[in-house]
Each structure stands twice: as structure tokens, then as C-alpha cells.
Amino acid sequence: MFERLGGSIQKKKLEKALEMFHNESPQELRRRIGNIDTREILEKLEEYNPQKLRQMGINIEELRGKITERDFEKLMQVLGRDGALVVQKLKSLLN
């Protein structure tokens, strides 16, 4: 039950992040997010796998349909030199 509740919260956060990526420029995203440690992001991504996402009620197929290549490019712009690593990890998580 708590896993599902946590998934619901994570799903809302994910939806908000996708909305920001679709609606804001890389410069605005950088300003909002500030200095992000890509190592922290990568460590957090390591906590997830497709099975865990499903258990949390997050539909991977639906996510694939919402995240575009343009979103990945924007993410790389925002995160800088290590952005490609984060994008690679996200893509592998979604496949």
C-alpha cells in the first residue's frame, strides 16, 4: 500500500517535470533548477527499474509516449556535460 502511495506521489512529480520540460526554455529550466548534481540524479535513477515503476503505478508505455527526443535534447542542454549520461540512463529505463 505504501509503495503504491509513494508511486502516486512520484507520478505527480514526474507529470509536473514533464510539463515544465514541454513548456519552458532550457534557460528558464536552468534558472528554476539551479545547480544540479548529475551524480545525484544518476544515483536516484539507479533506484528505479521497470518493475519497480510498474509496482508504483507508473505506466512506462505512457511515459514513452510523453517523452520526446526534443525533451532529451533539452535535458542535455540543462544538465550540461554530464547530461548525456542522464539521458542514456533514462532511455535505458524506458526501453
If pLDDT is split at 50, 70 and 90, which confidence band does 11 have? confident
The CA distance from 47 to 38, in Å, is: 15
Q: What is the pLDDT of residues 14-65, one digit of tens each?
A: 888 888 888 889 888 888 877 778 888 899 889 888 888 888 888 899 889 9
Range of the domain at 71: 2-94
Q: Report how many domains make up the chain.
A: 1
Dist. CA 75–CA 2, nearest whole Å: 30
